[in-house]
Structure 1
């Protein structure tokens, strides 16, 4: 029976990976540098590996990972979050006998950059919005003013070049107001024309440029403008064609995700890329050939065989219900609740939901100890913001 180590067990997608691998004959282990009872308490998981923070101590992280691979006889390592950058950068220090689902570091950097990705997206027919690099809000205003004189568009989106979860994104559909706060010191910022339309997300797996798994969803409910907790199936041949072209063009291997705006035309606009897992993974059934895609052994591109939407039920019952009640959309909320399946409690595996609540308590304590927000406490130890990663 082959062994798989799934990293960043704090993420619901790690739990999803573990359950699917277990059902398809693998022995899953979970690895993380902070509390990850959400995944490690699942009956599908054989054990947990505690690792150092790759951001704070990459040498200790790699050493611990190497020891775990050798001790547990790991055949496959699957990252789920931004530890993918550290895994890629230090691949040579890990056992060559183990398959790591990562691509070259420079390729991941290109995809992660909100600016460098734009040219690649344009060359592959992704119809990205016009964009520019700016250092100040005045530069952004000047660019929007100049471009608006040509296109008639005044709306703008501002984001740091390396950012995540939409936390620092600024949306100005009517143009940048006079009282907008200055840009924070977070490296280069990217300004884009604001595109109106339906938000979509795609999740894919590729091996050597072959598209082996693909799903698209509409993030119907969000935590403010950040992470979604309701995932509605969506079909878009144009998005699939773009992803297939892009992964083939760069010979990509690994998990890759994109954010989109569908304005109703022939070609949706790709906004940015995340070379890692996202919640589109939840749309696949446990029998779908996602493990075969990750090992590179699949011969066809898997798409979800399920038709029901997916949700993180505790968030749908709390944040989703509060929002629906305050906006007069309770009937829509009830209909959406009935047509979705929870991604945490599935098949009688209930402990992950309890473990997730325990994790939140751990993250809250960590946030207080370090003076971070709760969101920062859940991801700061694995984030990569474009800085140089030294050799170890």
Structure 2
């Protein structure tokens, strides 16, 4: 039996992966700084291990993961979300024969870098917004000529992102937190998630936000945009990517997709695939089988959407539409054959809820604060 280690358990996409690997006949383990999590509550997870968060020390985090791999006889390590940038550094620390489903750290960090990704895409002739380092003359010219977006080189969940009107002064550059200035592209935002092997796209899921919490979608609608599929396929082929890789796009009025950033990891797009097909695609390097899409075109994270519905009621705007969406949309985590993760979600999510309340921060921001990669 293949033993699979997932390196995060708190997010719904980890639950999908756990269920899929178990259905494919694997023994599923979860490593997680919180200890007890959404995925760990599933009957499909054999055991969950508490590890120190990478924010408390990268070396200790990697050592804890490597020890679990050795002690439990892990065959495959699958990073789930923002911790991917850390987990990539396990390369070279694992016993012979253990597979790591992501690229080497140098390539992963290069695409997590907002400016590095733009340079890579431009070199391929792919559409991305004109960009320049904050503090440069080029950035000042961009800001003078039209609206711009200012974002840290390393960030997640929209943290630190600011949209400025034309002529609005740029913030002062901070050498300790370098940022990039991008031309603002007008259009509809779309996101993707792709499973790839050695430059070959196995499946790409394209979706857009249906309900937003800040800049993070908590309900999603699957759509078909062939131009995005083609953009992704070319990028993946050019860099020979293996693993999960995801992008955010703005599709302009002419139907041209502009990639505004890359996430070299899985995103919520995994929810639109049949979970066992994801597992089979990851387990078999030569997989050519189709990754089936679920019949639900719109999915939600129920408790996050409940919070947004309550907020709409307090604002006195959009409450009825939000309530209708809440009661008619399928939750990403609910499964009658594995109900406990959904039913225990308040408990397993309590560390995130408590931090959100005490710090006055968005749920998505605190959910990844201890596992994100924020510096080179």
**TM exceeding 0.5:** yes
Q: Distance in 2 between matches of 1:273 and 1:160?
A: 13
Matches within 5 A, 1:110-189: 110-135=110-135, 140-145=139-144, 148=145, 154-172=146-164, 174-177=165-168, 182=172, 186-189=176-179
**2:204 corresponds to:** 214
Q: Distance in 1 between matches of 2:317 and 2:150?
A: 31
**1:228 corresponds to:** 217
Please report how far the alpha carbon of residue 248 of structure 1 lies from its aligned counterpart in structure 2 after TM superposition.
1.0
Please report how far the alpha carbon of residue 182 of structure 1 lies from its aligned counterpart in structure 2 after TM superposition.
4.5
TM-score normalized by the length of structure 1: 0.86
**1:267 corresponds to:** 256
Q: Distance in 2 between matches of 1:321 and 1:198?
A: 26
Is 1:80 the counterpart of 2:72? The answer is no
State how many pairs are aligned: 374
Q: Distance in 1 between matches of 2:313 and 2:202?
A: 37
Matches within 5 A, 1:234-245: 234-245=223-234
Please report how far the alpha carbon of residue 334 of structure 1 lies from its aligned counterpart in structure 2 after TM superposition.
4.9
How has the CA–CA distance of structure 1 residues 328 and 383 changed in structure 2, closer, same or farther, with 3 Å as cutoff?
closer
Please report how far the alpha carbon of residue 212 of structure 1 lies from its aligned counterpart in structure 2 after TM superposition.
1.1
Q: Is the 8 A contact 2:296 2:330 kept in 1?
A: no
**1:390 corresponds to:** none
Is 1:362 the counterpart of 2:348? The answer is no
**2:302 corresponds to:** 313
Q: Distance in 1 between matches of 2:197 and 2:4?
A: 17
Q: Is the 8 A contact 1:284 1:306 kept in 2?
A: no
Q: CA RMSD in A?
A: 2.7
How has the CA–CA distance of structure 1 residues 377 and 316 changed in structure 2, closer, same or farther, with 3 Å as cutoff?
closer
Q: Is the 8 A contact 1:215 1:303 kept in 2?
A: no
Unaligned stretches of 5+ in structure 2?
A: none
Q: Structure 1 segments of 4 or more deviating over 4 A?
A: 180-186, 364-369, 371-377
Per-residue CA deviation, residues 45-68 of structure 1 (Å, 9 max, x unaligned), is 111022222343333323322222
Is 1:294 the counterpart of 2:282? The answer is yes
Please report how far the alpha carbon of residue 363 of structure 1 lies from its aligned counterpart in structure 2 after TM superposition.
3.7
Please report how far the alpha carbon of residue 240 of structure 1 lies from its aligned counterpart in structure 2 after TM superposition.
1.0
**1:253 corresponds to:** 242
